[in-house]
Homo-oligomer: A and B are copies of this chain.
Amino acid sequence: MSERILLAHGSGGKLARELVEGSILSELSNPLLARLDDSAVLEVSGKLAFTTDSYVVNPIFFPGGDIGRLAVCGTVNDLSMMGAVPLFLSLALILEEGLARDDLVEIIKSVKQASEESGVSVVTGDTKVVGRGSADKLYINTAGIGVVAGDVEISGSRARPGDRIVINGPIGDHGMAVLSSREGFSFSSLLKSDCAPLNGLVADMLAVSRRINCLRDPTRGGLATTLNEIAVQSGAGIIIDEARIPVRDEVRAACEMLGLDPLHVANEGKLVAVVDAEDAEVVVERMRANPYGREAAIIGEVEPERPGKVVMRTRLGSSRIVDMLVGDPLPRIC
């Protein structure tokens, strides 16, 4: 009876309580969550960062992670991109009737592990169940709260001409890992999601420079979309060098085979930083000392020309406009 999720597990009654206590609280419990009141009450002071994301990735288990790890890392990273120290998460599950309870338990274990790695606590949650065919296994929403140090001022609108564009490693790993796992491509065993919490890396970066003007994680829409957003929000141009953008050989090969541009492929453990030119080298050096920044590189700079546009100098020596993603070759990548 208890091996599959039933509609009644979402009823708010006895079975719902048994599911929450038996499969969720048992893994994640902490004094705040265990109270099971309508809200968690937290002691926080200062400037708060607040963010939310829903995760609908298909498949729910993929090389390098699963939807649980993704739901923690994605929201931890969104907080980190404001320079915030992530502290608290909410966890809301939408389960499809018939989901294997073992799959749920495994995902909750991933939530626990990623929470511990990133030092955040799940303090409030919700579980809903919908009928077969009204969801696809499970969807997760996390919202997150972090605290921003008083002297940190980071926003997508703060890029200034001369600033350097920095990335913490190779692009496209997450999107290609999920896609190839979903489609069962023969090369899928070579690809692994980069899904990781970046709050530690951001703390390291802020420890050596307060002239990090923008931070953003290039998830859906990839590096190209993120750079375009920064260019538009800041009213500045961005120029990047194709030769300096790290891409793993196996990701490049998979992209070529499928006609995808790695610049448009989602990442889940990458950040783009726009850093004052004077501090860029020291920031990159510090990043390389962190496990999630070993391949950090300066890949371009902000320029006064072509405000709102992103231009790439190609390996062939020509230049081309890099546009935002328009269609969606990779639905449900996160």
Contact = CB atoms under 8 A, between A and B. Distances in A.
Interface of A: 7-8, 10-17, 35-56, 58, 77-79, 81-82, 84, 88, 90-94, 123-126, 128-131, 133-136, 139, 141, 143-146, 148, 155-157, 216-217, 219-221, 225, 229, 233, 264, 266, 323-328, 330-332
B54 A141 contact: yes
Contact of A143 (B38, B52, B148): B52
Number of copies: 2
Given A11-B330, A126-B141, 15 more contacts: A13-B327, A37-B82, A38-B77, A39-B81, A39-B144, A40-B50, A41-B48, A45-B46, A50-B90, A50-B143, A52-B126, A56-B94, A90-B143, A130-B139, A131-B332
Contacts of A323: 14
25 contacts: A8-B328, A10-B331, A13-B221, A13-B325, A15-B328, A16-B220, A37-B81, A37-B156, A38-B51, A38-B216, A39-B78, A41-B49, A42-B47, A44-B48, A52-B124, A56-B94, A56-B128, A56-B130, A56-B134, A58-B134, A92-B143, A130-B332, A134-B136, A134-B332, A135-B135
A37 B130 contact: no
Contacts of A82: 37-39, 41
A47 B135 CA distance: 36
Contacts of A77: 38
A6 to B, nearest CB: 8
B155 A92 contact: no
A325 B11 contact: yes
A247 to B, nearest CB: 19
